[in-house]
Amino acid sequence: MDGKAGEKRALTGNEAIARGFYEAGGVVASSYPGSPTVEILEKTKVYEEIYGEFSTNEKVALEVGIGGSFSGARAMVSMKHVGVNIAADPLMTFTLTPTNGGFLLVTGDDPGLASSQNEQDNRVLGKFAHLGILDPSDSQEAKDYTKKALEISEHFEIPMLLRITSRLCHSRSVVVLEDRQEVKSKGINRSKEKFCMIPPGSRRAQMFMKERLQKLEEYAYDTELNTLEEKQGSDTLLITSGLVYYNLKEVEPEASIWKLGLVYPISKKRAKEITSQYKRIIVIEEMMPFIENELKLMGIECEGKKYFEYTGELDVPDIEEGLYQAGLLKNKPEGSKRFVETVSRPPLFCTGCPHRPTFDILKKSKAKVVVGDIGCYSLAALFPFEQSNSIISMGASIGMTKGIRKAMSLTKEEEPLVTVIGDGTFFHSGLPTFVNLLHQKKDNENMTFIVLDNRTTAMTGGQHNGSSGLYNERDDMRVGIKTLLETMGFDRIKEINQYDYKAAEKLFKEEIAYEGLSIIVVNGPCALRYNLEKPYFYVDPKICISCRACIRTNCPPLRMIEYEGIEKLKSSIDKDMCVGCSVCAQVCPVNAIKSSKASEKEGE
Ligand code: SF4
Ligand code: SF4
């Protein structure tokens, strides 16, 4: 992003963080794509002063970032909240070591589960890992805190966590740009005692880690990151942080507000000084009672979750309701949300999505147990396909299938198991679980693994992954999944074009019936990422028998309509939406669906 010092821009929280890292003289940035933070790395990568990569998973991304800091440069690693669980192994030891170059981990928490499998409050994880935690309230703060976090990290030699929530990641507010400040690399610190975490050095490091947090708590006493807004005559103090601050301000409460930018550690001395001036202390925060618990641990009496939900976002009406319950608002709020209600749209596979035929075939195959995984194919759990009996976390389907199979074998249940996993998930964490399948493998264990290889991380907007280079010559990752699995030692692997409906249907039937472990790699380019756009298809209403087989594939351009002079409803295709994948034509029993290209030729 261009922009000179002093210019004002309306940036999303994600864009502001990327800009902040650039201005702070950041050098190494890594991530794994996941909503709500995926744009941070995308925007960071545009600066040529920064090396940026989407790594194969969050643990690897963190390791790349740790390497950047170890080299003496400023590093930033961004991921969605559940990604920090994947990265937790190196993180818990990294926080024992001092940072060399400034280090920032950005976590995108998702109150309300807008696009996640769970809702977790990573302030808790941050404290568990002994990180200092900053919680910005708008895009300007997101940028400023990114820079501040790197400074603090270098000054106190502590890795920092910037916790941002979905709404802030994606909403825009005005940000004043500044120039980049080049920060000279400190060079690699070769101190084994500091950076080799083996006893007895690691025991000493634990003490050092605690000392650093104590120093950061002293810094928190009068940091400008925390602000007190005093209301004359008020005996109530409201304590808050993050985006909730602006929602609270809209309510215009008759109370003082202590806004925390540095939410961990909180200065005990400062907290006692401020809270002792008030009769009532109420903490307003999304998700866990994090600040509330910190204050209670200090012996400060306060309320909070008594009036506010543990889950979801705290919008203005939620805050009004909570403050009314607490007796701080005299009039009962109207109760209705002030926001304009939007028309709800059921989640749907995209037009021409290569996964659609796979799940249509699975639905017809009557496979009773389909173990699903994380990716856009999670949509198969919903109507109309309803072909996923479980979705837990990235790559979990493979290990779970083994557990289900082993248990069923002992109880003599013979139901065939079908498992789906996308290519992004396969490279993220599916690989070790595939290796594990070879351990104590029995020939008669019926498991069919379908690897959906659309060669992109589609759900988050089409970032690359291990096999993207097979479609995109500018991408240097060209790992063939079938070859890789063969090299591992799997001996029954079939490959099929996802759009070849009839051939895929036959193959699925054979492999599901096969008494043993088989793998099908289904190839088909993501229709959005690779701009699949072939000549459109159309319906000849005179041939159509209204059987609705095409409609049941659920491709958005298809619908039943009235044609002039024809009594019954017949199928029709919106040609502007159709990307010409041909799947509907393949399921039509009477060849009523034709390619516009073929008919052009016929007319020639
Ligand atoms: S050819 Fe049929 S299935 Fe494929 S995009 Fe067009 S309408 Fe959808
Ligand atoms: S599958 Fe063929 S016959 Fe059946 S509704 Fe669609 S176009 Fe008509």
In this structure, are residues 15 and 23 in contact, taking their beta carbons and an 8 Å threshold? no
Residue spans of the domains in the chain: they are: 7-189+204-220, 226-326, 354-523, 537-595
pLDDT digits over 157-180, tens only?
Answer: 999 999 999 999 999 999 999 999
pLDDT over 90 (residue 236): yes
Ligand 1: residues within 6 Å at CB?
Answer: 351-352, 537, 553, 555, 557-558, 573, 578-584
Q: What is the pLDDT of residue 336?
A: 52
Q: What ligand 2 atom has the least distance to the C-alpha of 547?
A: 4
The Cα 44–Cα 17 span in angstroms is: 8
Which DSSP category does 390 fall into? B
Q: What is the pLDDT of residue 604?
A: 40
pLDDT digits over 274-292, tens only?
Answer: 999 999 999 999 999 999 9
Cβ-in-10-Å burial (0-12, 13-18, 19+) of 184 comes to exposed
pLDDT over 60 (residue 375): yes
pLDDT over 90 (residue 211): yes
One-letter amino acid at 265 equals P
Q: What is the pLDDT of residue 339?
A: 57
Binning pLDDT at 50, 70 and 90, where does residue 91 land? very high
One fold for both 354-523 and 537-595?
no
Residue with CA at minimum distance from ligand 2 atom 8: 544
7-189+204-220 belongs to CATH 3.30.1330.200: no
First and final CA of the chain: distance in angstroms? Answer: 50
- Listed residue (583, 532, 595, 528) closest to 554, CA to CA: 583
Burial track 189-201 (b if 16+ CB lie within 10 A, e otherwise): beeeebbeeeeeb
Structure tokens at 61: 């991304």
The Cα 448–Cα 435 span in angstroms is: 15
Q: Which residues are annotated as a binding site for [4Fe-4S] cluster?
A: 544, 547, 550, 555, 578, 581, 584, 588
pLDDT over 80 (residue 123): yes
Cα 34 to chain center, whole Å? Answer: 3
Which DSSP category does 426 fall into? I
Which of 364, 539, 578 for a ligand 2 pocket mutation test, highest count of atoms within 8 Å of Cβ? Answer: 539
Residues paired with 80 in a beta bridge: 108
Strands 537-539 and 493-497: unpaired
CATH classification for the domain delimited by 354-523, as one of 3.40.50.1370, 3.40.640.10, 3.40.50.300, 3.40.50.970: 3.40.50.970
In this structure, are residues 239 and 203 in contact, taking their beta carbons and an 8 Å threshold? no
Spell out the long-range contacts of 338-341 with Cβ–Cβ below 8 A and sequence spacing 24 or more: 339/315
Residues 504-527 have a mean pLDDT of 96
Which DSSP category does 430 fall into? I
Dist. CA 592 → ligand 2 center (Å): 6
pLDDT over 90 (residue 489): yes
Q: Output the pTM of the full model.
A: 0.92
Residue tagged 């543990």 (tokens): 310
The Cα 381–Cα 347 span in angstroms is: 11
pLDDT digits over 314-367, tens only?
Answer: 999 999 999 999 999 988 887 655 556 677 777 889 999 999 999 999 999 978
In this structure, are residues 161 and 131 in contact, taking their beta carbons and an 8 Å threshold? yes
Q: What is the pLDDT of residue 333?
A: 81
CATH classification for the domain delimited by 537-595, as one of 2.60.40.10, 3.40.50.2300, 3.30.70.20, 3.30.200.20: 3.30.70.20
Instruction: Tell me the CATH architecture of domain 226-326.
Output: 3-Layer(aba) Sandwich (3.40)
Dist. CA 410 → ligand 1 center (Å): 44
